[in-house]
Amino acid sequence: MNKPAIAALLLIAAGATAAVMLKTQDPTYVAPQNAKQETTPLVLTSQPAAGEVVRVFEVEGMCCGGCRPKVHAAAVAVAGVREAAVDQEAGTATLIVREDVDLAALERALTFDKYESHARH
């Protein structure tokens, strides 16, 4: 192949590359956005109001910091639970709940996967 033919091919390739780059203005890689770090309280931040009580549960099976948010989410998902705190080191979940919330229902809600819960009396 002669020099003018090679130069013409290079010019065509450069033009094609430029055309693709102009058409593609959006980046092909978008860095993932980190989700907002949620914190799981270790202690309650308020006192029970009228008609509410504090209930403490022993929760067996918590082994790491990843367990705390799971147990916390299970606790606050129960109707009548206003606030929850989970202490993985102590193996407890402390809840502020309405007085009429069934203790057995709370135990069932906190007993899932590898976790087993029992109310302190």
CATH number assigned to the domain comprising residue 66: 3.30.70.100
Beta bridge partners of 60: 116
Write the pLDDT tens digit of every residue in 24-70. Answer: 666 666 767 765 556 889 999 999 999 999 999 999 999 988 999 99
Give the pair of three-digit tokens for residue 110: 């906190």
Query: pLDDT exceeding 70 applies to what percent of the chain?
Result: 82
Q: Which domain holds residue 96?
A: 52-119
d(CA 89, CA 18): 60
Residue 10 maps to a domain: no
Global pTM reads 0.68
Residue 77 maps to a domain: yes
pLDDT for 34 equals 65
**Total domains present in the chain:** 1
